[in-house]
């Protein structure tokens, strides 16, 4: 088994590919759940980078190490950047998840809870209302009862909410990735030589790449589902919220994590090959 349990984590990441959950994002509630689980993956990467950084070059020793060889300062700068990118991706995804229930797309099931109490229940969002009464009204919606042609017209967007959906079997594996990586890092020896550190950071970089590949599988499904008429209780802001959700599902963040770890590997390799050749950095 690899030091960071990479095979286990890679298998978990592969199990999160969108192809296994094609219908999950058909409803807003499913999109919310999926975004939160994707955020958990980004958060796991942020935590793992920060923890491994601390094990290789503890902060209480970094100042002394950097005084003798400023390459250690460079190493921490690169890993800090990688962790920050992963953390920011985590936060963007969680923010998008909070918006998801208020962005309802044409063709999905919604719940009508308006003033016509006898008509309360689940409907399919058909799009903007096109009846004569609504020709000059911006925002009114048309809903249809599932399995029938009964239409509900002139519906205020504030009268509909996301329909519940679940369970989401399989996606919960995203929550297991951080504990697996944390346990592996905690089990590492106290003293990690630069040569071994290179192996560990390279392993984590490979996992970040696999996470990026997994994110890529979700990008087009989210675009396809939301790149159509959307409505919601927040009126004109719904399109902006839709764009926020689509842009949050972005593999570029993980590519940035990879880039930061690549630079950290380069520095560690130099230290390992020339341990006494590092320039001295003056520290007051």
Q: What is the pLDDT of residues 120-146, one digit of tens each?
A: 999 999 989 888 887 766 788 999 998
Residue 148 has a pLDDT of 79
How much is the average pLDDT of 5-26? Answer: 90
- Give dist(CA 121, CA 23) in Å, integer: 21
Cβ neighbour number for residue 146 with a 10 Å cutoff: 10
What are 160-179's pLDDT values in tens digits? Answer: 998 887 667 778 899 999 99
Among 121, 143, 162, which residue terminates a domain?
162
Q: Specify whether 56 is located in the same domain as 142.
A: no
Q: What percent of the chain has pLDDT over 70?
A: 92
In a domain, 282, yes or no: no
Structure-token match 């094990």, residue found: 55
How much is the average pLDDT of 203-218? Answer: 96
In a domain, 281, yes or no: no
Confidence of residue 206 (pLDDT cuts 50, 70, 90): very high
C-alpha neighbours within 13 Å on the C-beta side of residue 199: 11
- Give dist(CA 253, CA 163) in Å, integer: 31
Mean pLDDT for the chain?
A: 88
Q: Specify whether 171 is located in the same domain as 259.
A: yes
Q: How is residue 281 annotated by DSSP?
A: -
For residues 6 and 48, the answer to whether their CB atoms sit within 8 Å is no
The number of domains in the chain is: 2
Q: Specify whether 233 is located in the same domain as 201.
A: yes
How much is the average pLDDT of 101-111? Answer: 92
Residue 284 has a pLDDT of 34
C-alpha neighbours within 13 Å on the C-beta side of residue 275: 4
For residues 21 and 169, the answer to whether their CB atoms sit within 8 Å is no
How much is the average pLDDT of 243-253? Answer: 89
Residue 280 has a pLDDT of 46
Examine the pLDDT at 282 and tell me if it is beyond 50: no
Q: Specify whether 114 is located in the same domain as 100.
A: no
- Give dist(CA 106, CA 109) in Å, integer: 9
Q: Specify whether 145 is located in the same domain as 199.
A: no
Domain that holds residue 221: 6-104+166-273
For residues 151 and 126, the answer to whether their CB atoms sit within 8 Å is yes
């Amino acid at each position: 088994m690899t030091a960071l349990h990479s095979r286990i984590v890679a298998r978990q990441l592969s199990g999160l590919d969108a192809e296994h959950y094609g219908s999950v994002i058909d409803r807003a509630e499913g999109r919310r759940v999926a975004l939160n689980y994707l955020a958990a993956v980004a958060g796991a990467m942020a935590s793992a980078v920060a923890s491994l950084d601390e094990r290789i070059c503890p902060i209480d020793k970094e100042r002394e190490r950097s005084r003798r060889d400023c390459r250690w300062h460079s190493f921490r700068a690169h890993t800090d950047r990688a962790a920050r990118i992963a953390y920011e991706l985590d936060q963007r995804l969680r923010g998008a998840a909070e918006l998801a229930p208020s962005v309802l797309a044409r063709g999905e099931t919604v719940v009508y809870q308006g003033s016509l109490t006898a008509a309360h229940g689940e409907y399919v969002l058909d799009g903007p209302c096109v009846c004569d009464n609504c020709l000059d009204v911006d925002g009114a919606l048309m809903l249809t009862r599932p399995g029938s042609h009964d239409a509900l017209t002139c519906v205020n967007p504030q009268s509909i909410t996301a329909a519940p959906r679940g369970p989401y079997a399989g996606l919960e594996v995203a929550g297991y990735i951080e504990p697996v990586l944390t346990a592996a890092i905690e089990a590492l020896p106290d003293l990690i030589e630069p040569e071994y550190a290179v192996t560990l950071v390279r392993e984590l970089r490979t996992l970040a790449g696999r996470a990026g590949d997994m994110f890529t599988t979700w990008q087009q499904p989210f675009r396809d589902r939301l790149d159509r008429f959307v409505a919601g209780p927040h009126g004109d802001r719904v399109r902006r919220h839709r764009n926020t959700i689509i842009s949050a599902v972005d593999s570029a963040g993980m590519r940035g994590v990879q880039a930061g770890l690549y630079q950290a590997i380069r520095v560690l390799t130099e230290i390992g090959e020339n341990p006494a050749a590092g320039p001295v950095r003056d520290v007051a």
